[in-house]
């Protein structure tokens, strides 16, 4: 009894595949649209061309080594990388009393003018005369 029932179910299932829109396979055009991708212009020359900052790091995410190819100088690459990897910590001007800010990865350092110290150059040096320390309009003493 189970044999004829299985044959009927199989026949109905196969007949359902023959109905319009019941195809198991995609058309070649539709399949290609899913699997295809647009190649970048001159991608075959990419390894032979000099590094380009826009191509390497702005169009797509780049690594330190790719950025190094662009600058060909470790100091310049590091300066760029510190801003590229996590933003510019000096953008908010954290250094007070005309201190110079240097961006780092997740941090910054301030180079303070003579007479000032502290993470943000906010403190008068202990051994300087307090007469020379004055309130600065942009913060600090």
Is the residue at 80 inside a domain? yes
Does an H or E element contain 14, and which? Answer: helix 2-17
Is the residue at 111 inside a domain? yes
Report pLDDT for 116. 96
The mean pLDDT of 87-103, rounded to a whole number, is: 95
User: What is the CB-side half-sphere exposure of residue 115 using CA atoms within 13 A?
Assistant: 13
- Domain shared by 54 and 82, yes or no: yes
- Domain shared by 104 and 120, yes or no: yes
Q: How many CB atoms lie within 10 A of CB 79?
A: 15
Residue 109, pLDDT > 90, answer yes
Is the residue at 3 inside a domain? no
Model-wide pTM > 0.85: no
Domain that holds residue 75: 48-86
Length of the chain: 141
CATH at residue 100 = 2.10.25.10
What is the chain's alpha carbon radius of gyration, rounded to the nearest angstrom? Answer: 33
Is the residue at 19 inside a domain? no
Spatial CB neighbours of 100, under 8 Å, sequence gap ≥ 6: 110, 111
Is the residue at 93 inside a domain? yes
């Amino acid at each position: 009894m189970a044999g004829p029932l299985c044959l009927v179910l199989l026949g109905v299932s196969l007949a359902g595949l023959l109905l319009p829109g019941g195809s198991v396979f995609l058309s070649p055009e539709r399949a290609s649209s899913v699997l295809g991708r647009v190649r970048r212009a001159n991608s075959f020359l990419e390894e032979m061309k000099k590094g380009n900052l826009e191509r390497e790091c702005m169009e797509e995410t780049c690594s330190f080594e790719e950025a190094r190819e662009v600058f060909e100088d470790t100091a310049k690459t590091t300066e760029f990388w510190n801003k590229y990897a996590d933003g510019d910590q000096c953008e908010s001007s954290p250094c007070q009393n005309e201190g110079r800010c240097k961006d780092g990865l997740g941090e910054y350092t301030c180079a303070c003018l003579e007479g000032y110290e502290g993470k943000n150059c906010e403190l008068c040096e202990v051994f300087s005369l307090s007469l020379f320390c004055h309130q600065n309009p942009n913060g600090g003493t």
